[in-house]
Amino acid sequence: MSSDNSLSHTRWNCKYHIVFIPKYRRKVIYGKLRRDIGVILRPLCEMKDVEIIEAHAMPDHIHMLVKIPPKMSVSYFMGYLKGKSSLMIHDRHANLKYNHGDRTFWAKGYYVSTVGLNQKTVAKYIREQESEDRLRDNMSKREYVDPFKK
């Protein structure tokens, strides 16, 4: 496969769909902060030789489709990414310390799923999720009346 990578004695193709949220799921990822988070996450991934295939910042969470080398565990990478990015976000936006306390920005956990041959499906889902959420929010939530009851 042309999408395989290699180390000295290994051919690999390890892709993961990762979702993580700000602490208390506050909707702080928007506007300038949204752009800054992208600027912060890209070089951190490059430093660890992690390729970002697809990524999108929603108002209250981040979706990433990444290619992580097998020499690095997902938990190590997420600890590194969330820890360093939290420090960098607080350095750039000092006013966040009043809302988020002692330089913590991300919540403790994250969601991860391996991506096999359905990479295009996951990438499409990440790209289109925001528009789907908007459509779902605009849908009517009225209660339907049972026509067989008086």
**Residues with a known catalytic role:** 125
β-pair partners for 10? none
- Give a three-class secondary structure readout of the chain: CCCCEECCCCEECCEEEEEECEHHHCCCCCHHHHHHHHHHHHHHHHHCCCEEEEEEECCCCEEEEEECCCCCCHHHHHHHHHHHHHHHHHHHCCCHHHHHCCCCCECCCCEEEEECCCHHHHHHHHHHHHHHHHHHHHCCCCCCCCCCCC
